Amino acid sequence: MFLELLGISDALAEATTVATTTASAPQGGGFLSMLPMLVIFIAVFYFLLVRPQTKRAKEQRSLMDALAVGDEVVTSGGIIGKMVKLKDNQALITTANGTELLMQKNAIVSILPKGSMDNMK
């Protein structure tokens, strides 16, 4: 009744209903159509997150292995000092005014060139 008032015939209304139900039917393909996107996502994840993290960890390990008594170092807190003693996971550093600080070796972020502390006084 309502469709007749609008001037739409029953056949046209039926055709429109059938077209919308077939258009909303799910498409086939499934997993094979999503496989390339999954591979691309994993590759991007690896190159942006995993690889740089392992590279940083490797650099930190090589820095810890290269530490020696007499090196001038910078800690993660920004303290500059000279290595006095090294133990397993601990380092004793002396700052510019002669204060000795005992800290973990992991707190050391870089080794300065020799004579850097002398230039700062």
pLDDT in tens, 4-56: 655 666 655 565 665 555 555 456 567 788 899 999 999 999 999 999 999 99
Confidence of residue 99 (pLDDT cuts 50, 70, 90): very high
pTM above 0.75, yes or no: no
Q: CA–CA separation, 100 vs 92, rounded Å? A: 7
Answer for the pair 10, 3: CB distance below 8 angstroms, yes or no. Answer: yes
Q: Are strands 90-94 and 100-104 parallel, antiparallel or unpaired?
A: antiparallel
Q: Which pLDDT score, from 0 to 100, does residue 16 have? A: 60
Residue 101, φ and ψ in degrees, nearest 5: -120, 130
